[in-house]
Amino acid sequence: MSQPVRPPEGRYGPARQPLGRRRRTLLVVAALAGGVALAAWFAVSATDQPVHWQDVSSVVHPDGTVSLTFDVRMAPGRAAVCTVHALSRSGSEVGRRDVPVGPSTTDVTRVEAVVRTSEPAVSAQVKACAPGPG
pLDDT digit string (tens) for 19-43? 788 888 888 888 888 888 887 777 6
Report the sign of the C-alpha dihedral through residues 33, 34, 39, 43, in that order.
positive
Residue 124 near residue 93, CB atoms below 8 Å? no
CA–CA gap between residue 34 and residue 31 (Å, rounded): 5
Q: Residue type for 124, please?
A: A
Starting at the edge strand found earlier in the chain, the sheet holding 52-61 runs 52-61, 65-73, 108-116
Pick the closest to residue 65 from 124, 111, 126 (CA basis). 124
Mean pLDDT of 121-126: 90
Question: Helix or strand or coil: residue 33?
Answer: helix
pLDDT recorded at residue 11: 76
Mean pLDDT of 63-81: 89
Pick the closest to residue 86 from 117, 108, 110 (CA basis). 117
Q: Residue type for 132, please?
A: G
* Model confidence band, residue 5 (pLDDT cutoffs 50, 70, 90): confident
| Rounded percentage of the chain residues whose pLDDT exceeds 90 | 29
Pick the closest to residue 99 from 49, 53, 59, 48 (CA basis). 53
pTM: 0.60
CA–CA gap between residue 124 and residue 95 (Å, rounded): 9
CA–CA gap between residue 27 and residue 6 (Å, rounded): 32
